[in-house]
């Protein structure tokens, strides 16, 4: 019987970990492809579906050069594509001064796992691209009446230019 005690202790320890939720997987990664260079990003922010348990990691953002006119293909895993998501981005126009912020169309759950960000003018310079995973249902702001869409996770590429 004594030889079985370590085995039994191991089983009990494993069961306790599973019941405590310690066996949960890490948050998903997103891939930014720039001119054939595949870059994997961990989330800079990741919350559960209720926005109650969140973690932040400012160091998770990617910094990589993106030459003007270069499209960026973004690929998300099923954990992201199973919910609404979009890409928010900012770029500097051909004059080198004018900054424009934009957003991709919102991808409905299960609609797509990839989005290619192409800026309007070949001389535009991307500043940042951010995948935003939406969380709970949108709510109306009582003061303004505008609808807000809670973002539960983000993955960020900064061009460093």
Q: Which two tokens stand for residue 42?
A: 């961990």
Alpha-carbon distance of 127 to 56, in angstroms, equals 21
Q: How far lies 67's CA from each of 9, 12, 17, 61, 116, in Å?
A: 57, 55, 47, 19, 15
Mean pLDDT on 106-120: 96
Confidence band, pLDDT 50/70/90 cuts, at residue 147: confident
pLDDT in tens, 3-59: 444 433 333 333 333 333 344 578 999 999 999 999 999 999 999 988 889 999 999
């Amino acid at each position: 019987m004594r030889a079985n005690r370590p085995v039994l202790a191991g089983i009990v320890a494993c069961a306790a970990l599973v019941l405590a939720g310690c066996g949960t997987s890490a948050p998903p990664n997103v891939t930014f492809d720039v001119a054939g260079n595949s870059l994997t990003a961990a989330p800079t922010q990741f919350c559960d579906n209720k926005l109650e348990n969140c973690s932040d990691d400012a160091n998770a953002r990617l910094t990589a050069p993106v030459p003007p006119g270069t499209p960026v293909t973004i690929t998300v895993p099923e954990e992201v594509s199973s919910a609404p998501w979009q890409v928010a981005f900012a770029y500097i126009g051909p004059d080198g001064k004018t900054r424009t912020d934009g957003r991709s169309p919102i991808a409905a759950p299960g609609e797509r796992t990839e989005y290619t960000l192409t800026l309007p003018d070949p001389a535009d310079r991307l500043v940042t691209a951010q995948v935003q995973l939406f969380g709970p249902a949108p709510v109306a702001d009582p003061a303004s009446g505008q609808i807000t869409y809670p973002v539960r996770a983000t993955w960020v590429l900064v061009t460093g230019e």
